[in-house]
Amino acid sequence: MLEIVIARIKMKNPLMLASGILGLTKESMEKFNHAGAVVTKSIGKEERKGYKNPVFYETECGILNAIGLANPGIDEYIKEIKGIKIENLIGSIFGKDEEEFSYVAGKISEYVKAIEMNMSCPHAKKFGIEFPTEEIKEAVERVKEAKKPVFVKLGVENILKRAEQAIEGGADAIVAINSIKAMAINIEVGKPVLGNKIGGYSGRAIKPIAIRCVYELASNFDVPVVGVGGVMNAYDVIEYLMAGAHAVQIGTGVYHMGEKIFSNICNELMEWMEKNNYEKIEDIVGLALKK
């Protein structure tokens, strides 16, 4: 009932673990085998230590983070994911140009079902939202040489133009959205809270923004869309599906509820579908686009 195929990947349900959430070690990712797919932490060519602390701050309606793409570099990471027991592992990668993207994609491709290109980190300069729009097409073309389905993850900034470039380069799916550039001030000391000052905002508060992005992407392009941002329960998933998403990713929801969020949502989703006479996920996809 919950199965869905997206970019040639068969998933037992439309829920994916979002990148950056417990995606660094084999043990932490294997806990999510009941998700339709698991996306790794974003991995680059070289090791990055990330930004100075604090890198994480909980606000009233979401969380701010500026981890700084901390990762061990692709060679070390491959040692970690070799032999991992995950049905659908998707490798998230980043790079400052098409050469770096292509290098990391070539190395990770053998170990993953698909590659997700992170082109939307809100605080990592050229590794993210500042990756030039006019270079996206070529970067995607180079990653496609790894012969795996390619998901391109975009942020709210200039999303339709960037999606157009990604699709021209051969993207098999668009993932929307990443956390949104934001900050908080500690008023006792009169300084920004985060070590990097600026971070990314995620969780409940960004859901309407992400829903708008998914709706616009699904209205303008034929490639499947994966919605991300603020998913906490089955009603959120249904909203994303109706806006045109074929699947959703969950990040901050895992921080609030732990890995059981996936089985809870699957149960709620099946109950809702039965009650409302939907046989399969595809029957819900894009319903709001038709009205």
Ligand X SMILES: Cc1cc2nc3c(=O)[nH]c(=O)nc-3n(C[C@H](O)[C@H](O)[C@H](O)COP(=O)(O)O)c2cc1C
- Specify the residue, 127 or 278, whose C-beta has the smaller distance to ligand X: 127
CB of 30 to ligand X, least distance (A): 19
**Segment lying near ligand X (by CB under 6 A), choices 165-173, 233-241, 247-255, 274-282:** 247-255
Using CB positions, name the residue nearest to ligand X: 20
Q: Can you tell me the distance from the alpha carbon of 281 to that of 272, in angstroms, rounded to the nearest whole number?
A: 11
Beta-carbon neighbour count of residue 87 at 10 Å?
A: 15
Angle formed by the axes of helices 136-144 and 98-108, nearest 10°: 20
Residue from 13, 14, 42, 44 touching ligand X (CB under 6 A): that is 42
> Are 16 and 248 in contact, with CB atoms under 8 Å apart?
yes
Distances (CA, A) of 255 to 9, 40, 103, 179: 26, 16, 32, 14
**65 contributes a contact to ligand X by CB under 6 A:** yes
The strand pair at 63-65 and 89-93 is best described as unpaired
121 part of the active site: yes
- Specify the residue, 92 or 196, whose C-beta has the smaller distance to ligand X: 92
**251 contributes a contact to ligand X by CB under 6 A:** yes
- Specify the residue, 104 or 278, whose C-beta has the smaller distance to ligand X: 104
DSSP 8-state symbol, 124: S
CB of 116 to ligand X, least distance (A): 7
**122 contributes a contact to ligand X by CB under 6 A:** no
Beta bridge partners of 175: 153, 226
Q: Can you tell me the distance from the alpha carbon of 288 to that of 291, in angstroms, rounded to the nearest whole number?
A: 6
The total number of residues shown for the chain amounts to 291
Radius of gyration of the chain (CA): 18
Residue from 234, 252, 262, 265 touching ligand X (CB under 6 A): that is 252
**153 contributes a contact to ligand X by CB under 6 A:** yes
**67 contributes a contact to ligand X by CB under 6 A:** yes
**123 contributes a contact to ligand X by CB under 6 A:** no
Choosing from 61, 121, 213, 266, the catalytic residue is 121
- Specify the residue, 42 or 109, whose C-beta has the smaller distance to ligand X: 42
Residue from 13, 41, 102, 156 touching ligand X (CB under 6 A): that is 41
Residues 7-26 touching ligand X, rule: CB under 6 A, are: 18-20
CB of 250 to ligand X, least distance (A): 5
- Specify the residue, 91 or 253, whose C-beta has the smaller distance to ligand X: 253
* Helical H segments across 169-285, by residue range: 207-220, 234-242, 252-257, 260-275
Name which of 183, 181, 59, 174 is nearest 125 in CA terms.
Answer: 181
Those residues whose C-beta lies under 8 Å from the C-beta of residue 41, and which sit 6 or more positions away, are 19, 20, 23, 24, 71, 92
**102 contributes a contact to ligand X by CB under 6 A:** no
Q: Can you tell me the distance from the alpha carbon of 272 to that of 72, in angstroms, rounded to the nearest whole number?
A: 42
CB of 118 to ligand X, least distance (A): 4
The pattern of x and - marking residues 199 through 238 that bind ligand X according to CB under 6 A reads ---xx--x---------------------xxxx-------
Site residues for ligand X per CB under 6 A? 18-20, 41-42, 63, 65, 67, 69, 92, 118, 153, 178-179, 202-203, 206, 228-231, 250-253
By annotation, the residues acting in catalysis are: 121
